[in-house]
Amino acid sequence: MADRVARCPKMAPLFLLLLGAGSLPAAGCTGAVSPERSLVWGPGLQAAVTLPVRYFYMQAVNEEGHNITSSPGAKSFKVMIKALSAKEYIRIHVPEPLDRNDGSFLMRYRMYGSAKEGLIIEVFHQDKHVAQSPYILKGPVYHEYCDCAEDDPEIWQQTNSCPTNEAQISKDFAPFPSIDLNRMLEEVPRRFAESRGAIVHYTVLDNQIYRRSLGKYTDFKMFSDEMLQSLARKVRLPDIEFYINVGDWPVEHRKANATPGPMPMISWCGSSDSRDIILPTYDITHSTLETLRGVTNDLLSIQGHTGPSWDNKTEQAFFRGRDSREERLQLVRMSKKNPELLDAGITGYFFFREMEKQLGKAPLIGFFDFFKYKYQVNVDGTVAAYRFPYLMLGDSLVLKQDSSYYEHFYSNLKPEKHYIPIKRNLGDLLDKIKWAKVRRTSLRFLTLF
Ligand SMILES: *[C@@H]1O[C@H](CO)[C@@H](O)[C@H](O)[C@H]1NC(C)=O
Ligand SMILES: *[C@@H]1O[C@H](CO)[C@@H](O)[C@H](O)[C@H]1NC(C)=O
């Protein structure tokens, strides 16, 4: 019955769009879900990978063995998770799987206790076990607040599949073949703390974290604290001392070959003209720690809230945000002149209050609603716009302003492949939107993290 076999085009990558591959078939691969052939994988099936929220993926596959590429129905898979031993009772938050709208699902669960004996994870499609279900995770399976630090950092790195080489980290440390802590002790307060007041001095000793604030503007140390504490619970940290800059801007602008040379300051945002060593932003670490609890927008949840399917998204570029950079105001002006291409609005005035009368204030809108639009404009705020990773996980096409600022993962991205670059002065934005509009295809970039 050849005519019953659905057409199963491969996902349309951006390069097809760039080659001008016109309109690709929107209908993906469909058909009945095969429980045996469907796939289940991810770190949440491994006992030893302790995360605030454990997660794994499910891919619906049809009877012919083809991946299903559009949603087979939000309730296609049912997941049950409980302690392996009936004698152990552990509270586990197990929400419904997130439908990623492309035939795949993301399952998240948060444990509120550790399972000594282990966990059993069952995945069903209409009461039939899916793939290798039931999955047995042999204990101990720890929760986020465990006292379970692995003594050997290398084992911990292997367990968590940490890459042996991270280009950004190697590059960031290259100017610092050796570090003079005495010089830092003397110079950091004077050079970086007095003017900006946003430096925190950390010391880890016997896996205990100590710190002192250098300056008045160090409230954001709550984010570096919680991140370091989470790490220390899971892996025994070496005795170490360092300085984190919890302000917006990178601080060390001396060149690698300057005399005296630069110092290894740790920051959340890097720039091409500074030497700061970059951590994942507090936005990402906090939302990761609070997933399924205090936050709605995090790297996992976003994947199930990417709005209507591509064909049903509004054919406009979209922007909402504060007035933290001149180009954002310019976006609003462009939007007023070209409403068919761009819907941009400022939701709060602080830096350019005098412009509110002229440009107006747009009501706040939930982040998930951004994905009702096909194109997302990413423009810097005071530094890099920390929404960028979340925008990249939606299935809209991201148009990114050229910028000297970066977060820890940007060096893994390629302009034209992962996003469409636009000039810093936004001069080519409207042309790029027009260009994208004539090429109709959907894009997903879900493999960045
Ligand atoms: C099917 O989906 C899985 C999971 O997303 C992927 O690894 C695999 O490459 C896909 N197979 C094909 C033939 O596209
Ligand atoms: C678009 O929306 C309409 C109306 O809600 C719906 O019937 C249709 O299935 C949607 N199309 C796609 C491709 O999701």
Query: Does residue 314 line the site of ligand 2, with CB under 6 A?
Result: no
- Would residue 54 count as lying in a domain? yes
7, 38, 62, 67: which to mutate for ligand 1, most atoms within 8 A of CB? 67
Residues 271 and 316 in one domain: no
Residue nearest to atom 12 of ligand 2 (CA): 309
Query: Are 216 and 204 a contacting pair, CB within 8 Å?
Result: no
Query: Are 108 and 298 a contacting pair, CB within 8 Å?
Result: no
Helix (H) or strand (E) holding 111: strand 104-111
Residue nearest to atom 3 of ligand 1 (CA): 59
Query: Are 105 and 98 a contacting pair, CB within 8 Å?
Result: yes
Residues 338 and 235 in one domain: no
- Would residue 286 count as lying in a domain? no
Domain end marker among 146, 181, 199: 146
What's the length of the chain?
449
Residues 400 and 433 in one domain: yes
Residues 387 and 338 in one domain: yes
Residues 139 and 214 in one domain: no
Query: Are 193 and 215 a contacting pair, CB within 8 Å?
Result: yes
Distances (CA, A) of 18 to 374, 377, 393: 16, 18, 20
Residues 305 and 421 in one domain: yes
- Would residue 419 count as lying in a domain? yes
Residues 329 and 439 in one domain: yes
Q: How confident is the model at residue 416 (pLDDT cuts 50, 70, 90)?
A: confident
Query: Are 172 and 277 a contacting pair, CB within 8 Å?
Result: yes
Domain end marker among 114, 146, 178: 146
Residue nearest to atom 2 of ligand 2 (CA): 312
- Would residue 254 count as lying in a domain? yes
Nearest atom within ligand 2 for CA of residue 312: 1
- Would residue 396 count as lying in a domain? yes
How many structural domains is the chain composed of? 3
Residues 21 and 97 in one domain: yes
Residues 238 and 337 in one domain: no
- Would residue 284 count as lying in a domain? no
Nearest C-alpha neighbor of 395 from the set 376, 413, 380, 414: 376
pLDDT of residue 68: 96
Query: Are 398 and 306 a contacting pair, CB within 8 Å?
Result: no
- Would residue 3 count as lying in a domain? no
pLDDT of 101-123, one tens digit each? Answer: 999 999 999 999 999 999 999 99
Full residue range of the structural domain in which residue 180 is found: 167-279
Residue nearest to atom 3 of ligand 2 (CA): 312
Residues 141 and 68 in one domain: yes
Of 229-238, 266-275, 309-318, 431-440, which gets the smallest average pLDDT? 431-440
Residues 237 and 305 in one domain: no
Residue nearest to atom 11 of ligand 1 (CA): 67
pLDDT of residue 31: 85
Residues with CB under 6 A from ligand 1: 39, 59, 67, 104
For residue 139, give every residue at least 6 positions away whose Cβ sits within 8 Å of its Cβ, in sequence order, or none.
47, 84, 114, 115, 116, 117, 118, 119
User: CA 375 to CA 313: how far, in whole Å?
Assistant: 9
CATH classification at residue 346? 3.40.50.2000
Could you tell me the pTM of the whole model?
A: 0.90
Q: Tell me, in angstroms, the distance from the centre of ligand 1 to residue 67's CA.
A: 6
Residues 94 and 180 in one domain: no
Report, as an integer, the average pLDDT of 363-386. 96
Res 324 pLDDT > 50: yes
CATH classification at residue 32? 2.60.40.10
pLDDT of residue 11: 44
Ligand with the closest atom to the CA of 27: 2
pLDDT of residue 28: 61
Where are any strands of DSSP class E within 306-355? 314-322, 342-348
Distances (CA, A) of 129 to 63, 76, 84, 105, 341: 15, 12, 17, 16, 47
